[in-house]
Chain A
């Protein structure tokens, strides 16, 4: 599901059956054709095999718990009761927190780089932000564990409790003791991790808005701000939504960094972001090695299957939006 491979497939699809020059008369051509064809097919076969294998191993748990696997919050290997609603909840909440924090920052940066920044500043800044993307997630995890969590516990969370926490309704988000290992901290770490992904795509999308659009607005006497809100953003909207969704998908599957700061406990679904929680990915990472009973193992695999399906759906939606955005640009040009 990574960017590069689906990019390749996309390019391949777009170009369709390439008119072979010399039409298959050349043996070398034919061999090469078969080679690349089988390469492309093997990727699909791998994906299918993965899903089939996951499904086979997950069958026992899915068969035994049915829909309650998705709707209950018991995860009890000892008494063999498995429900994953709290894992799904934790995954969604942390990813949403990450989005809320990262999206404005990423899109703001993208707009600055594409519309405001002087040419000499653009590339270095973008480069540094994109560097964030190559930092292994375990390093974010360690940083979150040793640096961020104590800061969250000691300063940020008490502050939030004292301010926003006093507001009715909204305050529910910040109730309970500040522990530092919770959904909020996990969301913050994820936000930093998805920032480069969202920023890079958003920048491409904004850059792909044709200059004619901007020129039109400026010609009508619009200010820079009006140009951006009136022409650039509406034009880039679906692409930007796609960029954000791709960030969401990345946050969704992130494992190591989240496991280290989320608290890994509590099967309570509560409104407070300050409760320790669990995500699907961190549950799998934690439980897999010692899943010694058949049904337990099967339940862990079933979580993986759920995670895979949800990620595929989100990724698919995101891709659709990005393509539509890019497609619009292409046709209008």
Chain B
């Protein structure tokens, strides 16, 4: 991990520029791209499905990987996270058309992805929760790099028949209180505080969480632990935790089904899942004190808002990010690759695929419901990809870049 650190010093962004990017994204997000959102049925609070605009910085790196390259491996094997599996299958399908390199991706879960890359039984891994220092140390072939591939967000969804179409607002305090089992009724003053003028029922809250280990849970509890010390000490952070209260259900569909069936239930689901199924979702108060409607632009804004505090290895959490427009419950999903690629042909193929994934492929994200990685982060990913070496310490990425 030494060399990327050194390389990255030159490209650290200041806060102002990160914020400018966030603002820019938001402005354009409110433009014509947002129009289809108005067609959502009025019964469920409308979730605008906004495609973040194509960005110029990323465009600069696009188009470098546009055809096959002599001497690169013609097949790559990857495995890991299930959350981005739909996106990856689209990506790699396109990638084969562009370069003729076949990339097999098996969505076996983040845990499996980490295990497989550590044992070096696959060429690249994928995970929703960053590898721990311990896991990194245990990896067979040396340092592993985390390359952000897309962004996910998790939203609170609830079922309160009395509310009709009104959207609830949540603060960090009310969400942690509910999931710790300390807030047990919907008319609790803590919830009412965020929702002035709304009549909340005097009913018991039923909380629903994921029963299977999941990146969705990771992002959710990452938020809860970052805003509440009590949560951190009691339940902690992981893809599955020891829940103080509530029902467990398998998958996004299980949680959504459970919430739909049980009046006065609250659960959390992947943003994309909520958009596609037009679930009623709550607004969440961010660090800047704004109640943010969850959508893709607000997620990209969060990543941009967090960019200035990002560790050079990109193993970062972006929950509760700075920025007026940032949605606070979001996180990256990463591709994992070894920094030292012994096999030259494989090294070429992997770096080229990673480069394509972080640049050209990002345009597929929005149409499939994933937020694109913001430019500042892509810039850092570039440095990481360029730091990948092959036998003899040579740079594995075969293309010449101006000035690098």
> Which A residues contact B (CB, under 8 angstroms)?
74-79, 145-146, 149-150, 153, 177, 179-181, 259-260, 263-265, 267, 276, 278, 282, 285-293, 296-297
Contact = CB atoms under 8 A, between A and B. Distances in A.
Nearest to B258: A181
A288 B211 CA distance: 11
Given A77-B238, A179-B206, A289-B112, A150 B261 contact: yes
A149 B261 CA distance: 9
B250 A259 contact: yes
B247 interface: yes
| Residue in A74, A265, A278, A290 with the greatest tally of chain B CB atoms within 10 Å | A290
Contacts of A296: 111
B115 A276 contact: no
Given A149-B261, A260-B250, A292-B111, 10 more contacts: A75-B242, A77-B213, A78-B238, A181-B247, A259-B211, A286-B212, A289-B108, A291-B111, A291-B213, A292-B129
Nearest to A177: B204
A289 B111 contact: yes
Contact of A260 (B114, B243, B254): B254
A3 to B, nearest CB: 29
Contacts of B214: 290
B111 A179 contact: no
Contacts of B247: 179, 181, 263-265, 276
Contacts of B243: 265
B235 A78 contact: yes
A103 to B, nearest CB: 29
B241 interface: yes
A289 B107 CA distance: 10
A79 B211 contact: no
B82 interface: yes
12 contacts: A77-B242, A79-B242, A177-B204, A179-B247, A179-B262, A180-B262, A259-B250, A260-B254, A287-B213, A289-B111, A290-B111, A290-B214
B213 A180 contact: no
A230 B33 CA distance: 81
A312 B213 CA distance: 28
Contacts of B82: 289
Interface of B: 82, 108-112, 114-115, 127, 129, 135, 204, 206, 209, 211-215, 235-243, 246-250, 254, 257-258, 261-262
B211 A265 contact: yes
A290 B109 contact: yes
A265 B236 contact: no
Contacts, number: 100
B240 A77 contact: yes
A149 B257 CA distance: 12
Contact of A77 (B114, B135, B211, B241): B241
A146 B261 CA distance: 8
A145 B239 contact: no
Given A286-B250, A291-B213, A292-B114, A180 B240 contact: no
Given A76-B241, A265-B209, A297 B248 contact: no
A78 B241 contact: yes
Nearest to A289: B109
Nearest to B221: A78
Given A179-B262, A289-B213, A76 B129 contact: no
A265 B246 contact: yes
Contacts of B242: 74-79, 267
A265 to B, nearest CB: 4
Majority-rule SS of A interface residues: loop
The 7 closest A-B pairs by CB, nearest first: A290-B213, A264-B248, A289-B109, A264-B211, A78-B236, A292-B111, A76-B242
Nearest to B111: A292
A280 B82 CA distance: 23
A179 B209 CA distance: 15
Contacts of A276: 247-248
B233 to A, nearest CB: 9
A289 to B, nearest CB: 3
A149 B249 CA distance: 13
Given A150-B261, A265-B211, A290 B240 contact: yes
Contacts of B209: 265
Contacts of A78: 235-238, 241-242
Nearest to A259: B250
| Residue in B127, B241, B248 with the greatest tally of chain A CB atoms within 10 Å | B248
Contacts of B240: 77, 286-287, 290
Nearest to B242: A76
A291 B110 CA distance: 8
B135 to A, nearest CB: 7
B206 A289 contact: no
Nearest to B217: A290
A286 B213 CA distance: 7
A285 B254 CA distance: 14
A267 B213 CA distance: 17
A145 B108 CA distance: 25
A250 B364 CA distance: 46
A267 B82 CA distance: 27
A263 B248 contact: yes
Contacts of B238: 77-78
Contacts of B248: 263-265, 276, 278, 286
Contacts of B206: 179
Contacts of B235: 78
Nearest to A291: B111
A181 B249 CA distance: 10
A269 to B, nearest CB: 15
B239 to A, nearest CB: 4
B260 to A, nearest CB: 10
A150 B108 CA distance: 32
Contacts of A291: 111, 213
A190 B394 CA distance: 61
B239 A290 contact: yes
A76 B244 CA distance: 11
A286 B206 CA distance: 21
A252 B235 CA distance: 30
B110 to A, nearest CB: 6
Contact of B135 (A177, A260, A267, A292): A292
A76 to B, nearest CB: 4
Nearest to A265: B248
| Residue in B110, B235, B257, B258 with the greatest tally of chain A CB atoms within 10 Å | B258
